[in-house]
Structure 1
């Protein structure tokens, strides 16, 4: 197919649990052919290194700064992505030469949209030369240059996927429950609106790691044993974030886990699961029309307590809630697929963001292309 490229998307999200790798054949517009997916987890020691990166990043005032250990962590992160790409190619019997481009998200260590400052560590040139595949990276920065929030970027891909959903179920709202949740509204008339909707898995992960020494509440098992602490839930949901006239993108530190609380482990997990679900519905109140359907992707869809709460809250609006899989998609792969899609759009000079998604002044493209240096590596 003319204009169709083979791209691999790489996502390391705010949950900091690993690297998602997904292949897509696309023209960056209406052609979307989804391929294989691979998840590569981080070990506990590297997750701790990323936590250190978050702390050291707090002093950054310019995007190029790498105080403390950040330069070393950035290199290690990139080489882990190199290993993930190689494993993906080997597992699926794909030659590097058959891939046109990598879409490299990197790891967000600082996001201050009010200061037009966002930092994703990850060395695109190193990734390109080690894999032998041209790489598009740093896709958020140009949006901020033009007055946007730098997030979310996935909506362009959600809009393409919406074409495969029964028109009777529009308007549809794609919801990614990652460390931070975000939503994309696609109206019956094609209108696309997107923004961060509130805390997702991060608060729950931090809570159970602090109180139980485990990285996350698998399937909502801990939450299922608890009860909602109403006062705590109300404090989160009373945040000005939910009522502000202007939607803004979030940093993982904008909502912090409970401190100095006498809430038990299970009750805390149960409460934070409810907050994750209620945040989505509360934020959806800013949409022009109540969605008929919520399609849930990201790790949060595997937490049955979040999904049950979300289903019950949405039912009050006569809206249905389904997982990405029930819609015919892969909820684990969607963000990585989106980065592959965005990389192709970047190569084509097509917009990555729009006024209705990030608040940018006008639709803009973005990303930095790192070509493979001739003679450094030969592609298979």
Structure 2
């Protein structure tokens, strides 16, 4: 068993989740403390600038300079590691590995037989030097080189937790981050996973534009509005929804154009309905789960959760109902994946990302 700190910074650019677990990459022997550290406004500005640079670049030509963003990421992730060490009463020498996801700034899914491309910025070697702990990073590149989507990657951790928790199957685990993705766990088949469409990303962008707030707190704005059916149908015409899974998205693959003429409340209601409808369509195509467990920030939005219930015909439950730590779930996943990289175990399967064969994806940077 190894003591590993997992780190996750999502596309919402809101902050870093850090969690300590003790694992061999098969089971979790112990769950240690976890911390969530918000980015400052200046941090977010630097990271958003990196996203903007990446979108303008589009994998074409010279790679932009992400040095400022990588320095912010190294500093803040190093502080997050120290906070977990302090909470656990441990020294860096007590930790075997760090699982460092980095910050996704651009993702392009495979198309027409061509491999996709993805970029998670973050200097694993610099973080290893800053913390004095070996860092597993670059989890997605190997999967994409094998023809996979490079996402979602938490699927096998969901499977391990479900086995360890003795949960009834078929089980659906939904993550509502910037993008929504679902894990489908049957009793007699490999796990299935794919992105279902936007989750909070479009809603957050709408709220920032219309009311100067980074998200729809408790779904209150959407609750005051009405769904515009014409705008909803336009959103649903996106080509992504005609693709068969496995499939993946960049948060920026969708725009706010279909709701641009709506009021703040009606736009929020329509985008919330859009997330719920596309989640429901994905789950219904897989079957009827015994339970639908929901992680990610979207589980805190009761209006969105109710809309998913209505659209999918199954009651969504926050993952805490199964005894899981919702705010730390993805950070734990990357700690668990780091253990698997160290043991040369698969981190993705053909059924979860579409890779040609099971892939062990990740590189290890040593402190010296």
TM interval, short-chain normalised: over 0.9
1:9 paired residue number:
6
2:348 paired residue number:
353
In structure 1, list runs of 5 or more residues that go unmatched.
374-380
Tell me if the contact between 2:32 and 2:88 (Cα under 8 Å) persists in the aligned partners: no
Q: 1:97 to 1:112 in 2, by over 3 A?
A: same
More helix by share: 2
Partner Cα distance (2:329, 2:310) in 1: 25
Moved more, 194-203 or 157-166: 157-166
Partner Cα distance (1:253, 1:111) in 2: 9
Q: 1:113 to 1:244 in 2, by over 3 A?
A: closer
Question: Given the alignment of the two structures, is residue 323 of structure 1 paired with residue 321 of structure 2, yes or no?
Answer: no
Question: Given the alignment of the two structures, is residue 225 of structure 1 paired with residue 224 of structure 2, yes or no?
Answer: yes
1:180 paired residue number:
179
2:128 paired residue number:
128
C-alpha root-mean-square deviation of aligned residues, in Å? 1.7
Partner Cα distance (1:31, 1:82) in 2: 24
Tell me if the contact between 1:60 and 1:67 (Cα under 8 Å) persists in the aligned partners: no
- Give how far 1:121 is off: 0.3
Q: 1:345 to 1:100 in 2, by over 3 A?
A: same
2:366 paired residue number:
371
In structure 2, list runs of 5 or more residues that go unmatched.
none
Tell me if the contact between 1:177 and 1:296 (Cα under 8 Å) persists in the aligned partners: yes
What are the within-5 Å matches in structure 2 for residues 15-54 of structure 1? 15-54=12-51
Give the TM-score of the pair, scaled to structure 1: 0.91
| Total equivalences in the alignment | 363
Tell me if the contact between 2:203 and 2:268 (Cα under 8 Å) persists in the aligned partners: yes
SS at match of 1:21: strand
SS at match of 1:263: coil
Moved more, 177-186 or 53-62: 53-62
What are the within-5 Å matches in structure 2 for residues 166-245 of structure 1? 166-167=166-167, 169-245=168-244
Tell me if the contact between 2:194 and 2:245 (Cα under 8 Å) persists in the aligned partners: no
- Give how far 1:286 is off: 3.8
- Give how far 1:260 is off: 7.2
SS at match of 1:221: helix
Partner Cα distance (2:29, 2:352) in 1: 21
SS at match of 2:253: coil
Tell me if the contact between 2:10 and 2:178 (Cα under 8 Å) persists in the aligned partners: yes
Tell me if the contact between 1:5 and 1:27 (Cα under 8 Å) persists in the aligned partners: yes
SS at match of 1:188: coil
Give the alignment partner of residue 302 of structure 1, picking from 300, 318, 335. 300
1:290 paired residue number:
288
Tell me if the contact between 1:197 and 1:279 (Cα under 8 Å) persists in the aligned partners: yes
